[in-house]
């Protein structure tokens, strides 16, 4: 007998015995024609896909974005023709993935690390991915440095242990990173959970209106639940009890109907290089000052449904900074340009050539392409009236046709020599000083304590470079760091998670505190 709850294999065959493999007698040996067992174990051996190189640890949820139909007090159509923003109350389905960056898929959610904040909007014009972090800036401003940065922050290739000396070696040699170091080593480097952290697009994008005119834009997610961060000691205490606390917090809140919300705000700036500023607006190591470029609300996001299956949705969801809809565009931000290639490229490697056919990644609208084949293809993206013999364009034999352009195409003027140069207005430490001065006293104290703890175990040359950057940023910042390092105990290993207190003592403590046992 078979009903809707009957166990089957992938061929649809009912499984009558899921407890025993087929053997000669009840003691074996097993036979090769154990089809159900071989199918089951072979799939089990392939249940994992390649882990994300970064952002491997994550949690996610479904929800919706509701537009305000305005940018602050102005009509949104003045700035962008993107349809999802135009009507007040218009709702667009979303899927959000939160993550930590450096460590693996089952690493503790209390580690000192930026957090990913990626939103997939299933708009009527196709998908838009807003792929960002909780912090509003980044360590570097040029994509060519990204692999080196991640290599330095990842565990040592010999010991497989994260090493703060490697981290600071890269940062001391890349002074543009000092603003981000200031945030990461403060309590902002350990958000209390995913619901109570900000989000940011980090990079500079563009909005394009109906006339083809563009403005630069920055995106900011502000949590309605408030913002909460942890000290190093608080994080270590939580980690000792539950290293999945942030995933559990998000899941439990949604299950209880306590749906988390964020407001989406934007900053806009005219599309030019702004020589009046002491930084380049395309530099993602910099903040745009709110008093000069006010935050304007454009909508809110509500997360109201947990995934049905973690692997199918949270693990296989694939984001890309190049996934934009009409009315949204790229800027010349060098990090954005590099990410736009890298993100989609890694998804094809990780999930497969047809990753966009998976339900979590597919747009919630019609799709018609001339693409086919590739591993795990399971449908043809063909139009209902398309000639099945015509998988190319242009054609006069009932193939697919180009869409009509609505709104004037944005055509920026590009002029200049091809060079390999840094931007002129690097100004690496000014904003780090402003950030330091804006911290509350307890945040400053925690920042200095965490920096001293890790820098004390680093090469003296690295210490001096970081101190020099701190002194350049703010006299008080540099003085406290230098004084703290003078008083810090010498020696100890730098091989421990960033900011970790006495982590190098853990192997010995494990022996000292353990209990002997006899063999059995």
Q: What is the DSSP string of 369-425?
A: -S---STT--S----TT--TT--SSS-SSS---PPPP-SPPP-------------S-
pLDDT value for 289: 94
148: CB partners within 8 A, 6+ apart: 170
* Cβ contact 259:306 at 8 Å: no
| Residues 295 and 264 sit within 8 Å (Cβ to Cβ) | no
Q: What is the pLDDT of residue 96?
A: 98
If pLDDT is split at 50, 70 and 90, which confidence band does 317 have?
Answer: very high
CA-based R_g, the chain, Å: 26
pLDDT in tens, 422-472: 999 999 999 999 999 999 999 999 999 999 999 999 999 999 999 999 999
Percentage of the chain modeled with pLDDT above 90: 79
Provide the pLDDT confidence category of residue 415 given band limits of 50, 70 and 90: confident
Tens digits of residue pLDDT in 181-232:
999 999 999 999 999 999 999 999 999 999 999 999 999 999 999 999 999 9
Whole-angstrom distance, CA of residue 72 vs CA of residue 294: 9
Determine the Cα–Cα distance for residues 444 and 436; give it in Å rounded to an integer.
7
Q: Which of 55, 62, 179, 220 is catalytic?
A: 55
Section 262-283 average pLDDT: 96
pLDDT band at 158 (very low <50, low <70, confident <90, very high): very high
What is the model's pTM?
0.94
Task: Give the list of residues 6+ apart from residue 311 with CB closer than 8 angstroms, or none.
Answer: 47
CA distance 325 to 130: 11
| Greater pLDDT, 119 or 505 | 119
pLDDT digits (tens, 9 = 90+) for 8-55: 988 888 999 999 999 999 998 998 889 899 988 888 898 889 999 999
Known catalytic residue at 55: yes
Pairing of strands 70-71, 328-330: unpaired
pLDDT for residue 206: 97
Residue among 318, 311, 366, 371 at smallest CA distance from 345: 318
pLDDT at 139: 97
pLDDT at 108: 96
The beta-strand segments (E) located in 232-308 are: 261-270, 296-305
Q: Give the three-class secondary structure for 520.
A: coil
> Which ranges in 96-231 belong to alpha helices (H)?
146-153, 164-172, 178-184
The residue from 127, 133, 209, 500 that is catalytic is 133
């Amino acid at each position: 007998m078979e009903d809707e709850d009957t166990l089957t294999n992938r061929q649809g065959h009912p499984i009558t015995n899921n407890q025993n493999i087929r053997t000669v007698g009840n003691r074996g040996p097993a036979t090769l024609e154990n089809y159900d067992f071989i199918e089951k174990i072979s799939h089990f051996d392939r249940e994992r896909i390649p882990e994300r190189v970064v952002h491997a640890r994550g949690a996610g949820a479904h929800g919706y974005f509701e537009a305000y139909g305005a940018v602050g007090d102005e009509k949104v159509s003045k700035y962008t023709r993107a349809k999802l923003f135009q009507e007040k109350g218009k709702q667009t389905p979303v899927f959000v993935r939160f993550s930590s960056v450096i460590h693996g898929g089952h690493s503790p959610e209390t580690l000192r690390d930026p957090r990913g904040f990626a939103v997939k909007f299933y708009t009527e014009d196709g998908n838009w991915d807003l792929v960002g972090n909780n912090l509003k800036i980044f360590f570097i401003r040029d994509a060519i440095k990204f692999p080196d940065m991640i290599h330095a922050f990842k565990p040592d290739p010999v010991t497989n242990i994260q090493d703060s000396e490697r981290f600071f070696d890269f940062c001391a040699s890349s002074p543009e990173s000092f603003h981000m170091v200031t945030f990461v080593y403060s309590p902002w480097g350990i958000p209390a959970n995913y619901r109570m952290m900000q989000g940011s697009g980090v990079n500079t994008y563009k909005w394009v209106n109906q006339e083809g005119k563009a403005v630069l834009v920055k995106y900011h997610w502000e949590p309605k639940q408030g913002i909460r961060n942890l000290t190093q000691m608080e994080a270590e205490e939580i980690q000792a009890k539950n290293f999945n606390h942030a995933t559990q917090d998000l899941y439990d809140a949604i299950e209880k109907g306590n749906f988390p919300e964020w407001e989406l705000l934007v900053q806009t700036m005219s599309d030019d290089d702004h020589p009046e500023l002491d930084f380049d607006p395309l530099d993602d190591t910099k903040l745009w000052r709110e008093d000069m470029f006010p935050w304007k609300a454009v909508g809110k996001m509500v997360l109201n449904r947990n995934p049905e299956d973690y692997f199918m949705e949270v693990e296989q969801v694939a984001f890309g900074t190049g996934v934009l809809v009409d009315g949204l565009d790229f800027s010349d931000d060098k990090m954005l340009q590099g990410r736009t290639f890298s993100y989609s490229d890694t998804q094809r490697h990780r999930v497969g050539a047809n990753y966009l056919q998976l339900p979590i990644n597919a747009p919630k609208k019609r799709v018609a392409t001339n693409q086919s084949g590739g591993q795990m293809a399971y449908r043809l993206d063909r139009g209902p009236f398309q000639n099945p013999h015509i998988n190319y364009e242009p054609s006069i034999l009932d193939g697919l046709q180009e869409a009509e352009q609505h709104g004037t195409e944005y055509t920026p003027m590009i002029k200049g020599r091809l060079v390999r140069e840094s931007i002129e207005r690097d100004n690496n430490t000014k904003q780090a000083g402003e950030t330091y001065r804006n911290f509350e006293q307890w945040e400053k104290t925690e920042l200095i304590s965490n920096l001293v703890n890790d820098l004390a175990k680093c090469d003296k040359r690295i210490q001096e470079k970081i101190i020099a950057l701190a002194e350049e940023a703010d006299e008080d910042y540099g003085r406290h760091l230098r004084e703290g390092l003078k008083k810090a105990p010498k020696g100890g290993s730098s091989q421990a998670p960033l900011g970790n207190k006495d982590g190098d003592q853990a192997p010995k403590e494990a022996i000292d505190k353990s209990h002997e046992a006899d063999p059995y």
